[in-house]
Amino acid sequence: MQYRKLRCQLKYLASYLDLDPRGNQVVRRTDFKRCPRPVLLLHGFFSTRRVLEVLEHRLRREGYCVWSIHLGGTMDRFNTHRIDELARKVRGKVDRLYERHPEMGPLTIIGHSKGGLIGTYYVKRLGGDARVRSLITLGTPHRGTRMAYLGCATLGWFSRSMWQLTPVSPFIKRLGEGAFPRHVRLTSIYSRDDVIATYPSSVLDVDGQPNVFNVELSGVPHGELLTRRAVWEVIQRELALGYADD
């Protein structure tokens, strides 16, 4: 029974992985010289930028300047590096982009799963609040997830980030310490039907933080947080609120 259960969990987890070696080969379409509302997309563990295509198309259609970052990892893809290392990579990319295009507007980050933790670390620990107006996370295990233990047993030998994603990891505990920057809007969109970032791992502590919000949606699996219409409607609302001052 335990063997059968493990096989089912591995099969379910594999359905969310994007192993296409060409998944990070994307065409740059954003004109950063005319970019009042830039949106950075960060994908999750063992995925590539290809999983962001639907969301990118919707954002671009609404007039947002959308871009993503090649996060590297095993075989230079699949986002397997440590979360703090990737957050520093994001900081470097963002800083260089704003140096070349200082007329760009304030940044919004949308992160799926582990990508949301990369964005959180960048904003909260690496000074990203100086650039970022709002951070929207989709199925991000802010409290760690029990599914990471399975990941440690199968993938932890080459991916240190799996150990960071467990509920008892020092990384998760340190990241949760202290308040989120008050001038950055943080919203976690999650579903109890998500078996990767299992409930309540994606629920943020909002006590005393008027800029921190949780939005629960029912019947949305982990991967479909990037494609479901109901999720997109919430993202639209959060983007409008984030850029309301403009």
| Residue 6 CB contacts under 8 Å (≥ 6 apart), including other chains | 150
Nearest CA to 162 among 98, 82, 92? 82
Tell me how far apart the alpha carbons of residues 92 and 86 are, in angstroms, rounded to a whole number.
10
If you count them, how many residues does the chain have?
246
Strands 107-112 and 132-138: parallel
Tell me how far apart the alpha carbons of residues 76 and 78 are, in angstroms, rounded to a whole number.
7
- Starting from the edge strand earliest in sequence, which strands make up the sheet with 65-68, in order? 65-68, 38-42, 107-112, 132-138, 185-190, 212-216
Tell me how far apart the alpha carbons of residues 145 and 222 are, in angstroms, rounded to a whole number.
13
Tell me how far apart the alpha carbons of residues 130 and 133 are, in angstroms, rounded to a whole number.
8
| Residue 220 CB contacts under 8 Å (≥ 6 apart), including other chains | 191, 193, 194, 228, 230, 231
| Residue 30 CB contacts under 8 Å (≥ 6 apart), including other chains | 38, 65, 66, 67
pTM of the model: 0.89
Chain-centroid distance, C-alpha 16 = 14
State in Å, rounded, how far the first CA of the chain is from the last one: 57
Mean pLDDT by 10 residues, the chain (246 residues): 58 54 62 93 89 94 94 72 95 97 97 97 98 98 92 74 93 96 97 94 95 97 95 98 80
DSSP state of 188: E
In the chain, the largest separation of any two C-alpha atoms, in whole Å, equals 59
pLDDT value at residue 3:
64
If DSSP codes are grouped into helix, strand and coil, which group holds residue 186? strand
If DSSP codes are grouped into helix, strand and coil, which group holds residue 128? helix
pLDDT value at residue 183:
96
Tell me how far apart the alpha carbons of residues 132 and 125 are, in angstroms, rounded to a whole number.
13
Q: Going from the N-terminus, what domains does the chain have, and what CATH number goes with each?
A: 31-243 (3.40.50.1820)
